[in-house]
Structure 1
């Protein structure tokens, strides 16, 4: 579904070359819950932005459904992004618009607005009773569910989740994790979940890559039956890198 082939991304900052990603190889399967874990500055967000074509590799190839994203025209990139939803750490809601208006924004931008779609997705994320509320009237967990509903409204094939629970407390974080799992099970949505939280990755993902200083140092399958054993070989290294 999503393939990184020897992907490198470098920037120049004040005359110094900074390598955000360094020869990354990844294969993410269709319908998979795939985690990417690493400390701040490890390249996680850059990796996500490669998938929705907001960043381009300096070297290497990124493919989605077999298509080399570098070969797409700007119009084709825009169409590709419509198949990819994005969930943000800080929700990114418009505070002067209601929940319903926030969720329907992508449809209005695409000139395909249907109120029934908005109502259905709000029901799915259990926010039907909050449709006319404003973000300031919501809890953190409710704000993230609005963000998820907005990402779902275009029925994306891929959902990119950038630290989706790190701004939330324990119960709200758990509720969001369960909602993401429900989305994957109901719609078969392929998810790439970036986080520095081991607990989220262990409980939610099928496989995970550890990213350190732009390099994938390990990719592995997560056993839901024996998570501690699976993570035991490298847990100390990850914990140290995350401080």
Structure 2
């Protein structure tokens, strides 16, 4: 469903050329829970932003359902983004708006606001009694549930998750992991989960790409116990570098 073909991304920073992605090849299947793991600066977020056309590759192609999304015009890119939901590490909520208003924002932007839809997704993320609250009244885990509900309101085919649990403690992180799994199982949503957290990727994903300095070192099937052990052994060095 999502394909990266020899994708590279280079920036100019203080007169120096920086390579964020280096000839990346990836294939993400429809309905898959796909992980991208690597330490800070490995290119994970850049890769994610390629999918919803917020970043333009320096070379190569990014295809969604066979369409090179970088060849779309601005109107087509906006339509394409409506099929793609985004979950952020720091929630990105509007603190002067209620939970109902935060979740309904994508519908208002599309001039299709529907309070019944807002209530439906609130119930799905188990926050049906919080609609008139403000974000400051919620815990970190609840804020992330609001962020997920907002992403779900447009019924996306693809959900991009940028470090979805790294701002949360153990139980809240586990609860969000299980909610993401439920979304995939209920709606068949294709998910790309970017993280530096080994446990999240091992618990949630079917496969993962291991990214280092913009290069995909390997793509690993996670269901197999022997390969899980291999994955853990490789990533020990990265975990140590993260402290």
Contact 1:203–1:224, Cα closer than 8 Å, also in 2: no
Determine the structure 2 residue equivalent to 1:198.
Answer: 198
Deviation at 1:150, TM superposition (A): 0.1
Equivalent position SS for 1:234: helix
Q: Show structure 2 runs of 5+ residues with no match.
A: none
Determine the structure 2 residue equivalent to 1:185.
Answer: 185
Count of aligned pairs: 243
Q: Show structure 1 runs of 5+ residues with no match.
A: none
Separation in structure 1 between the aligned mates of residue 173 and residue 224 of structure 2, nearest angstrom: 19
Deviation at 1:85, TM superposition (A): 0.2
Separation in structure 2 between the aligned mates of residue 190 and residue 6 of structure 1, nearest angstrom: 22
Q: Provide the aligned C-alpha RMSD in A.
A: 1.3
Equivalent position SS for 1:143: helix
Deviations 1:95-147 (A, max 9, x none): 00000000000000000111110000000000000000000000000000000
Separation in structure 2 between the aligned mates of residue 230 and residue 190 of structure 1, nearest angstrom: 25
1:120/1:200 CA distance change after superposition, 3 Å: same
Contact 1:9–1:57, Cα closer than 8 Å, also in 2: yes
1:118 aligns with 2:111: no
Determine the structure 2 residue equivalent to 1:5.
Answer: 5
Equivalent position SS for 2:129: helix
Deviations 1:158-185 (A, max 9, x none): 0000000000000000000000000000
1:54/1:180 CA distance change after superposition, 3 Å: same
1:232/1:144 CA distance change after superposition, 3 Å: closer
Deviation at 1:231, TM superposition (A): 2.1
1:131 aligns with 2:115: no
Determine the structure 2 residue equivalent to 1:76.
Answer: 76
Q: What is the TM-score of this pair, normalised by structure 1?
A: 0.97
Deviations 1:195-238 (A, max 9, x none): 00000000000000011000001111002656742424523343
Q: What is the TM-score of this pair, normalised by structure 2?
A: 0.97
Separation in structure 1 between the aligned mates of residue 237 and residue 205 of structure 2, nearest angstrom: 19
Deviation at 1:15, TM superposition (A): 1.1
Separation in structure 2 between the aligned mates of residue 15 and residue 81 of structure 1, nearest angstrom: 33
